[in-house]
Structure 1
């Protein structure tokens, strides 16, 4: 991935010297404590990406990428801890797992952060001929009543194709089909969704038919996939327009 600039933000691969700040930001966002860095065994295998505010020399966003040669390797990634990925094993061509995406609370509400992150991901996807991008989109909190509009909208419009849909693996699972009958309010649903999930869906992405409770992080994970060929050309072009 090249270092790319969009406005006052730059997206680039992190170096070893950047990792303490990245793990601290993840600790602050996922665990509520920057003094308790968030790191796991997958970090050593992953590429780490950061978005920084050049005007303040400040970390605004980070995420990691795990590059895999094909669908059969998805079982070795982070997402496969929560989902049975056997249906994706036959997926041909390079695939990419994105995880631990988080935005510095000081920058929340600035849409340019997410756009800059997608500029970097698009550059990596193009240069490595990635065919499928996936990961876990995380809702903060495990009380599903707080996310009911969003989950009802996912159930109604965004469940993935049966041939690729991950299987149940975890013990703490909520099937979308078992949700109470509810007509979602689209505005509330959009506000309840994590920004990253909204952008996946805007690009033509899809979700699993169930979500998983992660007690460790206090989140509700939803498998999210994006077939690169399904991205509308005008959307893809926007992420290739660097400044």
Structure 2
């Protein structure tokens, strides 16, 4: 016997759409709001935004193009998608997305066969050394050009921090990028990270041997710390301010046209003033 509802007609139960989760706001600055994606339309809009930034603006190489111009891979289905919305824009929520971050919790990475970053860095070894800690991989960060401002970055960090607290995350990690495929073009900045900000001891992690490129390209006495810091991409500079350390070696990603470094950020190492700032704001 089939079940039906009498609301002006009979509809089999299985034909009713599944209820969507209510959006939970994680942060707000002016007309900008940050929260997780709640449906397929929002995820697809984030993939389209990534395509605009990575492929149309930064000229990444299309290796697996989709017919509707989206940047998508197998990890999208198991990740949470942190989104920034400009509610002052017209249209439905998925048409208001101006920034995104992809979050992969360790529990889901294990079911999917590993982390995205493991293709470039020995992240699995790092995780194995900390069996009692809960890791979160951050990746695929991008923001539309008009919104590349301090407040958008702060809003993303409000969202990340709320997610970290809600999911009992102990360590954040993942790849961050310099634009271009010639490490020597970023010699001073990379060398500064290698000489002053390398993760050591139990947090040490290296690029995989087949893709390892040295970051230590300039003698310490030839480095000007001020110019090296100024040359860091904003995202990497933000990680550094929060207390992050970096893996040994960088990796050239020819598909995305970037030179990638690995970021390691134990929550316990984050400066208390940033915890108070982002925690209070969120």
CA distance in 2, matches of 1:103, 1:188: 25
Alignment match of 1:129 (pick from 165, 168, 188): 168
How far residue 9 of structure 1 moved from its aligned partner, in angstroms, is 1.3
* 1:202 aligned onto 2:202: no
How far residue 237 of structure 1 moved from its aligned partner, in angstroms, is 0.8
CA distance in 2, matches of 1:40, 1:71: 14
Task: Identify the structure with the greater strand proportion.
Answer: 1
* 1:9 aligned onto 2:49: no
* Residue of structure 2 in register with 1:103 after alignment: 143
Larger radius of gyration: 2
How far residue 157 of structure 1 moved from its aligned partner, in angstroms, is 1.3
CA distance in 2, matches of 1:167, 1:74: 22
Aligned-pair RMSD on alpha carbons? Answer: 2.4
How far residue 223 of structure 1 moved from its aligned partner, in angstroms, is 0.6
Aligned residues: 241
Unaligned residue ranges in structure 1 (runs of 5+): none
CA distance in 1, matches of 2:76, 2:110: 20
8 Å CA contact 1:132–1:227 kept in 2: the answer is yes
- Closer, same or farther: CA 75–194 of 1 in aligned 2, 3 Å: farther
TM-score by length of 2: 0.78
* Residue of structure 2 in register with 1:30 after alignment: 54
Report the more deviating stretch, 130-139 or 154-163.
154-163
How far residue 241 of structure 1 moved from its aligned partner, in angstroms, is 2.5
Determine helix, strand or coil for the equivalent of 2:100. Answer: strand
Determine helix, strand or coil for the equivalent of 1:96. Answer: strand
TM-score by length of 1: 0.90
* Residue of structure 1 in register with 2:75 after alignment: 42
* 1:141 aligned onto 2:180: yes
* 1:66 aligned onto 2:104: yes
CA distance in 1, matches of 2:111, 2:231: 32
